[in-house]
Amino acid sequence: MKKYLVLLLCFIGCISYSQNTTFTETELSITKWINGTLLLPKSVDKPNLAIIIAGSGPTNRNGNQNFLKNNSLKKLAEQLTNKDIATFRYDKRIVKQILTNRVDPNIMFDDFVNDASAVIDFFKEKDTYGKIYVIGHSQGSLVGMLAGKDKADGFISLAGAGNNIGDVIIEQVEKTASMYTEDTKRVVASLKEGKTTTDYPAALGAVFNVDTQPFMINWMSYNPTEVIQTLEMPILIINGTKDLQVTEKEAKLLKEANDKAELVIIENMNHVLFEIDGDDLENSKSYNESFREISPQLITSISAFIKS
């Protein structure tokens, strides 16, 4: 688990006001582990609220982790609020645990679901917002589905997988290190059965470290296509054609599982929401290029969905 949780740039905030005069910015503490930033448009008395849930790893409210800074989720939140939609984005609990040197080695996927649920409950108790929408990015898509069921007024899957995460890992290994495909299939099969294993090549240790296997077992117990079928709310599914981590196929699987959902595929958008003109090298480098702007079509699609 330690390898999974290592080194994160410190992110410490305080109550502040945005230099952008169209909205105010306030830090909120939701639980002992969850802190986040609320942006409120000044021009709307009772705006709709979008709660943004980050993806896998020790990801902070801005979409950054380790030494990768792109500010993708910060840009998403600010641009949506400029469209008169209130936004709340928060650090995953592992971020605060690292900062306070109190990392829980037994952290589970369900902890992230419980955190998102607590955030939704916090805002539902207030008579301040019109409707509440959940935007889940990458791993946050499945987290948002589970937490938002019967609570949120709408759900947006942003670069979320349709397949079980175990099957996604197998596909990624097939593409990048095919010599380990059979080993990966064997380990995933064991984890899906709820059993840990030490029978894997050292090269796969970063993925299947024995300390993180209980977390993976918990995560693999959910199938996104099964979960999205249970949602009785408006759904928007978005993916980019240049996403190196979650392909368009994954978004289409989610759409097939819930035919009432709206599907938007954005040309050239990658996993961190930037539009990439060049090759995979440019794509990979963009994960640490905070000067880039996120896709305009992304903002248009989400804001239109929330306001519809």
Beta-strand runs (E) in the chain: 23-29, 35-41, 49-53, 86-90, 132-137, 154-158, 235-240, 262-266
Over residues 153-193, the pLDDT tens digits come to 999 999 999 999 999 999 989 988 999 999 999 999 999 99
Residue-level pLDDT at 100:
87
Q: What is the mean pLDDT of the chain?
A: 92
CA distances 48 to 80, 123, 260, Å, are: 11, 11, 22
On whether the CB atoms of residues 160 and 141 are closer than 8 A, the answer is yes
Q: Does domain 2-161+224-307 have CATH number 3.40.50.1820?
A: yes
Considering the chain, tell me which residue range(s) the CATH 3.40.50.1820 domain(s) occupy: 2-161+224-307
Residue-level pLDDT at 99:
86
Over residues 32-78, the pLDDT tens digits come to 999 999 999 999 999 999 999 999 989 999 999 988 999 999 999 99
Residues 93, 116: Cα–Cα separation, whole Å? 10
Whether the predicted pLDDT of 14 surpasses 80? no
> What is the rounded average pLDDT of the residues 195-206?
94
Over residues 217-263, the pLDDT tens digits come to 999 999 999 999 999 999 999 999 999 999 999 999 999 999 999 99
Residue-level pLDDT at 262:
98
Residue-level pLDDT at 4:
41
The residues, any chain, with a CB within 8 Å of residue 278's CB and separated by 6 or more, are none
